[in-house]
């Protein structure tokens, strides 16, 4: 078993480099299915377990995929006979593999994808994706745990999403690229990752207009081809390091972070007393001596991102006073708080809102990540905890953060990732981690 062990108390200072965005590269890898001729070359691809999983999904679909970790690039050839089936083995590993369904349906007129289950943060149905495919003329049915969508041809339609779902927006947008006529998609997700997806689709020959606004219009085309594309920076990884700087009273430049993509977080950091300096080089965060409490409510973009909620809860717990935190996107995203309770956090959950009672002097404990951002939040708490914090279940962290402990250590944190034989106790004798 692997653990991250943190000894709290160090201020973080220096510069950290951010990777390409997980939530951009996954649908973009799926989009490469639409390139019937030529090759797609993606750069700024993060080294994450989710990327390996999506690469394997594409390989299973009979595409040639080469990931060169040194240059952070993926070369994809989708010009062969692409198959239309993504089995449970892959989809169960990563829910985001459902976004292959739209491009498969567009290119082949059929897709059979294992139904993704829920996960620790919510039930996460895909009804909006499927309603969108049906509106485009597909027949959708469920059989033996699979979703099967078929269509002789897809026809453009006017579609209104009940909720601005990121995955549904991406899936329907990709399905509509090769449909006959025009599709309008209203109440869509407006995340920067949607814009990045629309950008590559347009380079591939699609006609997608309005990404980043509440309505996207897609004029169907006959053919799409492979292209080169540089993946947008990860605003959630950037935000996590901004929180780390504020929490440890540090001074960190998050290099190449895009400030426009993190407006709600930057605003909260300032409200809590941090100095946030935006420049051409990125976003520099200088933590205050004392953090002020602030209320946070998650919302679809451009609101406060749910993927920053667990990390910001640690900051709120450290602040001097009571803060409230409301989660509106997922129904069960407070699991990390029960682990933080073991580190001395005091809070009260009522429905979708939690009152967080600061200031907390976190105490080191052995804690287990329940999902990706929970893992990051627990490491963050360890940075300011008394003594040692040991975080397990790192498979979640590896889905979304490359070399998290290494980047923190380079900023001055006392943190190590270790391999521990099952049931073997790690004995820490000195204040320095050996
Ligand atoms: C790979 C990726 O990009 N993941 C992100 C994406 O996930 P994902 O695309 O799964 O998130 P959605 O925006 O679709 O989900 C938001 C909410 O809508 C609900 N819903 C969604 C689809 C549907 O058909 N029916 C339905 O009810 C979900 O259960 C959830 O409560 O956006 C989330 C919300 O910003 C982020 O937390 C995830 O990091
Ligand atoms: C919830 C997340 O991702 P996914 O949708 O891939 O589970 C996340 O990135 O925090």
pLDDT digits (tens, 9 = 90+) for 98-130: 999 999 999 999 999 998 877 889 889 999 999
Res. 424 pLDDT band, cuts 50 70 90: low
The percentage of residues in the chain with a pLDDT greater than 90, rounded to a whole number, is 92
Ligand 2 centre distance from Cα of residue 37 (Å)? 31
The partner residues of 111 in beta bridges, in order of sequence, read 149
Ligand 2 centre distance from Cα of residue 98 (Å)? 13
pLDDT at residue 31 tops 80: yes
pLDDT at residue 91 tops 90: no
Verify whether residue 177 is a known catalytic residue: no
Mean pLDDT of the chain: 95
Ligand 2 centre distance from Cα of residue 260 (Å)? 21
Res. 88 pLDDT band, cuts 50 70 90: confident
For residue 183, how far is the Cα from the chain centroid? Answer: 27
Ligand 1 atom closest to residue 331's alpha carbon, by position in its atom list: 31
Alpha carbon nearest to ligand 1 atom 12, residue: 165
Residues with CB under 6 A from ligand 1: 23, 26, 96, 122, 124-129, 163, 165-168, 189, 306-307, 329-330
Ligand sitting nearest the alpha carbon of 298? 1
pLDDT at 92: 85
Ligand 2 atom closest to residue 50's alpha carbon, by position in its atom list: 6
Alpha carbon nearest to ligand 1 atom 31, residue: 330
Alpha carbon nearest to ligand 2 atom 8, residue: 307
For residues 173-180, give the mean pLDDT.
98
Annotated binding site for phosphoenolpyruvate: 22-23
pLDDT at 377: 98
For residues 320-342, give the mean pLDDT.
97
Annotated binding site for UDP-N-acetyl-alpha-D-glucosamine: 95, 124-128, 307, 329
pLDDT at 331: 92
pLDDT digits (tens, 9 = 90+) for 213-240: 999 999 999 999 999 999 999 999 999 9
pLDDT digits (tens, 9 = 90+) for 281-311: 999 999 999 999 999 999 999 999 999 999 9
pLDDT at residue 257 tops 80: yes
pLDDT at residue 417 tops 50: yes
Res. 4 pLDDT band, cuts 50 70 90: very high
> Under 8 Å CB-to-CB from 103, ≥6 apart: which residues?
30, 31, 33, 34, 174, 175, 177
Domains along the chain with CATH numbers: 2-17+293-419 (3.65.10.10), 22-230 (3.65.10.10)
Res. 429 pLDDT band, cuts 50 70 90: very low
pLDDT at 233: 98
Res. 427 pLDDT band, cuts 50 70 90: low
For residues 353-371, give the mean pLDDT.
97
Interface confidence (ipTM) of the complex: 0.99
pLDDT at residue 362 tops 80: yes
Res. 90 pLDDT band, cuts 50 70 90: confident
pLDDT digits (tens, 9 = 90+) for 40-85: 999 999 999 999 999 999 999 999 999 999 999 999 999 999 999 9
pLDDT at 102: 98
- Choosing from 47, 108, 115, 119, the catalytic residue is 119
């Amino acid at each position: 078993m692997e653990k991250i062990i943190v000894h709290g108390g160090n201020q973080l200072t220096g510069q950290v480099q951010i990777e390409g965005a997980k939530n951009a590269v996954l649908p973009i890898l799926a989009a490469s299915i639409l390139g019937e001729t030529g090759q797609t070359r993606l750069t700024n691809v993060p080294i994450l377990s989710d990327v390996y999983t999506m690469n394997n999904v594409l390989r299973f679909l009979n595409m040639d995929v080469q990931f060169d970790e040194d240059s952070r690039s993926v070369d994809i050839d989708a010009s062969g006979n692409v198959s239309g089936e993504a089995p449970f083995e892959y989809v169960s590993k990563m829910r985001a593999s459902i976004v292959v369904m739209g491009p498969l349906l567009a290119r082949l007129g059929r897709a059979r994808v294992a139904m993704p289950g829920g996960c620790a943060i919510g039930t996460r149905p895909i009804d909006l994706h499927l309603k969108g495919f049906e509106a485009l003329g597909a027949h959708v049915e469920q059989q033996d745990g699979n979703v099967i969508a078929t269509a002789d041809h897809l026809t453009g339609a006017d579609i209104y999403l009940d909720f601005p779902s990121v995955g549904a927006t991406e899936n329907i947008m990709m399905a509509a690229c090769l449909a006959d006529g025009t599709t309008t998609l209203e109440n869509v997700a407006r995340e920067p990752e949607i814009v990045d997806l629309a950008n590559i689709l347009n380079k591939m020959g699609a006609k997608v207009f309005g990404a980043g606004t509440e309505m996207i219009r897609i004029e169907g085309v006959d053919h799409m081809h492979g292209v080169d594309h540089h993946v947008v920076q990860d605003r959630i990884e950037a935000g996590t390091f901004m929180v780390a700087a504020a929490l440890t009273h540090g001074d960190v430049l998050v290099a190449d972070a895009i400030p426009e993509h993190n407006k709600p977080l930057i605003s909260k950091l300032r409200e809590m007393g941090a100095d946030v300096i935006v420049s051409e080089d990125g976003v520099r965060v200088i933590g205050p001596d004392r953090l002020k409490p602030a209320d946070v409510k998650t919302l679809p973009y451009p609101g406060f991102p749910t993927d920053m909620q667990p990390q910001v809860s640690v900051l709120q717990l450290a602040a001097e006073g009571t803060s409230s935190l409301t989660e509106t996107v997922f129904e069960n995203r407070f699991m990390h708080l029960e682990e933080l309770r073991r580190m001395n956090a005091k809070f009260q959950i009522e429905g979708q809102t939690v009152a967080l009672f600061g200031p907390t002097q976190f105490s080191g404990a052995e804690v287990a990540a329940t999902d990706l951002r929970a893992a990051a939040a627990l490491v963050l708490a360890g940075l300011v905890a008394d003594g040692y914090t040991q975080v397990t279940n790192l498979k979640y962290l590896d889905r979304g953060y490359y070399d998290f402990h290494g980047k923190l250590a380079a900023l001055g944190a006392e943190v190590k990732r270790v391999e521990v034989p099952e049931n073997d106790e790690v004995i820490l004798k000195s204040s320095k981690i050996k």
